[in-house]
Structure 1
Amino acid sequence: MKTSIIHFVISAIIGLGLGYLVFDVIFDSGGKDTEITQEQTADQTATVNEEDHETKTSDVENVSNEESILQAKGCIGCHAVEGLKLQGGATGPDLSKAYNEVEGKHSKPLQEFLKEPTSAVMSSVIGGNPLSAEEIDQIVKELKKAAEQ
């Protein structure tokens, strides 16, 4: 009995360690995501002239047109979104129905969940790489499209 408990604890620790390592590798992207987050934070707190703001907005739109925000932020590393035909990892659940189901499972709307997740895994993932308000809006729009498919 003690041996099986010890094996379980060791397996859990190894699994959590590997999960952390995978999330760190996926979400680090060579520091790109961190740089973008710092840039966006600086942009929100600093006064920016209109020209700079328009340029940054068009850059965000170009990224959106090239790939889904779900791909850009690494969500697809763990989740698939069959409703959008996005193949992803099997670690997390398919997000096709997340738009309609998150509130029932986590007692808060999707936008609030993405700001402050109630699940331990998502808290650590998003806590290490917080989403901007614009990114949350884009994710919600994508997941709404997926739910409508």
Structure 2
Amino acid sequence: MNKSILIFIVSALVGLGLGYLGFEIIPANDSQKTTQVAAHEEPKSTNPEKETAVEETTGETVSAEAELLQSKGCLGCHSVSGLNLQGGATGPDLTFAYENVESKHGKPINEFLKEPTSAVMSGVISGNPLADDEIENIVNALKKASESN
């Protein structure tokens, strides 16, 4: 086998391994932080459109939308500038996802979150499927983000 091909294959495997660690190990630590934040949470309202805040011991507040998007792993790859949420830079900013998903992926956002048409999101969702109420809450959060701009 050609030496350059062998080097390429080894480099690709190392890169995939590091990517796996970055997305599987590091977000697990972030979700533990979310769990710790949730321990300080006030009782939530039953109205998903009403924003609830969670106060950390540092005095910072975390919105219900931020907590949801963080706990489901969305912020591992995506930011939502419309909600002032910094996340990963791997995926696109989700501020206008509520408005743009249907034209880009051929189905409404709630259907896309059940069965994504993109290869990357199909892999992500199949490994951690969303419940119907989680989809509804994520759609409401993304609607709020698009309306804020």
Q: Deviations over 1:116-136 (max 9, x none)?
A: 111111111111111000000
How far did residue 144 of structure 1 move?
0.5
Map of 1:38-53 to 2, 5 A cutoff?
Answer: none
Kindly indicate which of the two structures has a greater share of residues assigned to strand. 2
Per the alignment, residue 40 of structure 2 pairs with none
Mapped partners of 1:18, 1:60: distance in 2: 40
SS at match of 1:92: coil
Per the alignment, residue 23 of structure 2 pairs with 23
Q: Which runs of 5+ in 1 are unaligned?
A: 33-57
Among the aligned pairs, what percent are the same residue? 58
Per the alignment, residue 141 of structure 2 pairs with 142
How far did residue 60 of structure 1 move?
8.7
Partners of 1:111 and 1:137 within 8 A in 2: yes
Per the alignment, residue 113 of structure 1 pairs with 112
How far did residue 16 of structure 1 move?
3.5
Map of 1:119-130 to 2, 5 A cutoff?
Answer: 119-130=118-129
Query: What TM-score comes out, normalization by structure 2 length?
Result: 0.66
Kindly indicate which of the two structures has a greater share of residues assigned to helix. 1
RMSD between superposed Cα atoms in Å: 2.8
Letter in 1 for 2:79: A
Letter in 2 for 1:82: S
Letter in 1 for 2:82: G
How far did residue 74 of structure 1 move?
1.8
Q: Which runs of 5+ in 2 are unaligned?
A: 33-42, 55-62
Query: What TM-score comes out, normalization by structure 1 length?
Result: 0.66
SS at match of 1:146: helix
